Each structure stands twice: as structure tokens, then as C-alpha cells.
Amino acid sequence: MPRFFVEQDRVFEDHISIVGEDAHHIARSLRMAVGELITVCDREGKEYLCTISAFDDDKEVVADIVSSAKSENEPKIYIRLFQALPKGDKLDTIIQKAVECGASEIIPFQSDRCVVRIKDASEDRKNERRRRIATEAAKQCRRSLVPEVSAAVSFDNAIDLAAKSDLCLFCYEGEGTRPLGEILRSCDTLPRSVSIIIGSEGGFSEAEAAAAKAKGAVMTGLGKRILRTETASGFVLACLVMISEL
């Protein structure tokens, strides 16, 4: 069943108003008709089963609410993914897969070994595309929330934000790390929030690792195999979500 997201102010007592690209998609691409069922999410964790009741060409679709319920599709942990900027279009794939694997928020950042640098002139355009990717991924995998994709920040800002979580995991190939499984098994209770910090293709410098550790980050390794930057986030997210759903 097609799934769409609307802002809270588009949800009324007995119907929902869908406008913009989604209205065009329903009317023109999907060629849906009055009487067909859709699922609409209000971006606050609530899902509505709706019946399409009216079209205003492709500008607005009105859907009558049949029933509503709190979504059970969201992870029990609020997971922030901090991803160092990779080369090419890898970040697009990382965002898509992170949304599918349960990330709650995605924050790109620039580290010492990033080849890609933050360019203010093009950041707005890039952010718009990244948010579209997150929205489409959320629809596809039946999330009830669209994870926020933030504008790229500096390494220092990323570490400061990540340190606010109950558990901050710094994924590192150097010495002094603990296996991810050991860290997760040692938690007395399930953390309510977790930050995952992933490096770019070149990983992190020793200075960056020391700075993260000073902020309270836990140095963790991801097993005996070396993972690509576009693989690492999905690996950690899958481990976290699996443990939270046992």
C-alpha cells in the first residue's frame, strides 16, 4: 500500500490533505482513484489508514481517515549516525541504507582525511537532495518517521553533538578499541540514545581519535574484517536494532 508523509497541520479531524509532489505522484504517476487506500504518516509516530475521497487535479489529494494507530515500526533506540563525507555519491547510498536500518538522524561531517570538503555555495542543494533520499527510503521501508538529515558540520561540532547521547561509539581501526559486541553486552540497560561516528575512506587520525575519547566516546572496532565506509554504518545500525528488538 502506498505510504506518504505529511506535516501535522495537514491532518484534520476526519481527513488528511496531501499537497505538493506527493499529490502529483498520487494523481499522475500512480494514477490512483477515489476509493483506493493509502497509508499516511504525520512525522510524529502516528499512522493513518485512509481512503482517497477527492482530487483537485494534481495539486491536492483529500483522503478520509479510516483508522489511526501509533506506529510499531520505529526502533526502540534513538540512533544518530555521524558520517564523515565520503567520495562521489556514496553518501546518497549511506543515507538510504541507514534509513532502512533504523537511523533516527543523520549528520554528515568533515574530518581530516575527507577528500570531499564542505562548500557553502552548494550545501543547500546537496541537503535538499539528501533529504529527498531519506524520505523515499522511509516510504519504501515503511518507517513512520523520516530521519532528519542535517547540513554537514565540522569534526569538532560532530563530536560535541555525539557526546550528548547515552552511548557514543567511535568506530576506529587503531589501537585501544573494544569489540562492538562486548560493548553492547556490557550495557546494564538498553541506552535510550546512541551516536555512531563513522570515518571516511581514510578513517580517522590519531588526534581525532584522542579528541573523541576525551569527549567520552567509546572506541570500538567492527570485527576482524575491514569494512568500507559505505558498509560500516549499516553494520553497526543492524547490530544495535537487533539487540533492541530481542
Q: Supply the DSSP string of 123-143, one letter for each residue.
A: HHHHHHHHHHHHHHHHHHTT-
Q: How many residues does the chain have?
A: 246
Mean pLDDT of 218-223: 92
pLDDT tens string 101-145: 999 999 999 999 999 888 877 888 899 999 999 999 999 999 999
Matching CATH topology for 3-70 and 78-244?
no
The CATH homologous superfamily to which domain 3-70 belongs is Hypothetical PUA domain-like; domain 1 (2.40.240.20)
Cβ atoms 229, 85 nearer than 8 A: no
* Per-residue confidence (pLDDT) for residue 120, from 0 to 100: 76
- Residue for cell digits 558498509? 231
pLDDT tens string 177-213: 999 989 988 888 889 999 999 999 999 999 999 999 9
Under CATH, which number does the domain 78-244 receive? 3.40.1280.10
pLDDT tens string 16-58: 999 999 999 999 999 999 999 999 999 888 999 999 999 998 8
Provide Rg for the chain, Cα atoms: 20
* Per-residue confidence (pLDDT) for residue 96, from 0 to 100: 97
- Residue for cell digits 542543494? 125
| Torsion over CA: 80, 128, 58, 56 (sign) | positive
Q: Where are the beta strands (DSSP E) in the chain?
A: 3-5, 15-19, 37-41, 46-56, 60-70, 78-84, 105-110, 148-149, 153-154, 167-171, 178-179, 193-198, 218-221
Q: Where are the domains of the chain?
A: 3-70, 78-244
Q: What is the largest CA-CA distance in the chain?
A: 62
Mean pLDDT of 66-86: 94
Strand partners of residue 84: 109
| Torsion over CA: 20, 40, 51, 27 (sign) | positive
